[in-house]
Amino acid sequence: MTRILIIQNDATDPIDWYGDRWLAQGLELTTVHAYAGEPVPDSVDAVDADALVVLGGVMSADDDADHPWLGHIKDLIRDTTGRALPTLGICLGHQLLGSALGGRVGRNPSGQMFGLYPVALTPEGEEDDLLAGATGRRTIHYNQDVVLDLPAQAVRLATSPDGSVQAARFTPT
């Protein structure tokens, strides 16, 4: 059985339907409510997990001074991706992946995105097991920050209408 460690950064950003879907598929979920002071483990091994999912939040990926658990999450991301374990970052989680692995995260030069927008897959995104066929699908966007520069090893998989990175692969498949 696959066990997923989920890191929740904000009370308003739970796993919701992803979790429902994964539970229905027989996966086991362990959620750490980092925003509420639950300690972020140093490794997925600490909770006997095989994969990591990092959720969204209202803070910025490099707001470690105001949200000290973010630094621990970035350490966990480096450990998990360094061992080539499945790691998914959603919204802020995507930005934390970018920051942790050597990219640059900051305010979107096009301004805040809020609403339903179509996603455009790159050729690599069209070949990706998780994203293939999703070009043109409208997805919810609610962010001010984006990954401005991907880490060297990352591959851009999808962009939003303003050209900002919306999905990336940070480690080999």
pLDDT tens by residue, 153-167: 888 888 888 888 888
pLDDT of residue 30: 97
Q: Does the predicted model carry a pTM greater than 0.85? A: yes
pLDDT of residue 78: 95
Q: Which of 62, 5, 55 is nearest to 35 (CA)?
A: 55
| Cβ neighbours for 92, distance < 8 A, ≥ 6 positions apart | 9, 10, 13, 54, 55, 56, 57, 59, 61, 143, 145
What single-letter DSSP state applies at residue 171? Answer: S
Question: Digits of tens for pLDDT over the chain (173 positions)?
Answer: 689 999 999 999 999 888 888 899 899 999 999 999 999 999 999 999 999 999 999 999 999 999 999 999 999 999 999 998 988 888 899 999 999 999 999 888 876 777 788 888 899 989 987 778 778 888 777 778 888 999 988 888 888 888 888 888 887 65
Whole-number average pLDDT of the chain? 89
pLDDT of residue 163: 84
- Burial label, 111 (beta-carbon count in 10 A; 0-12, 13-18, 19+): exposed
Query: And the tokens for 104?
Result: 């640059």
- pLDDT digits over 40-60, tens only? 999 999 999 999 999 999 999
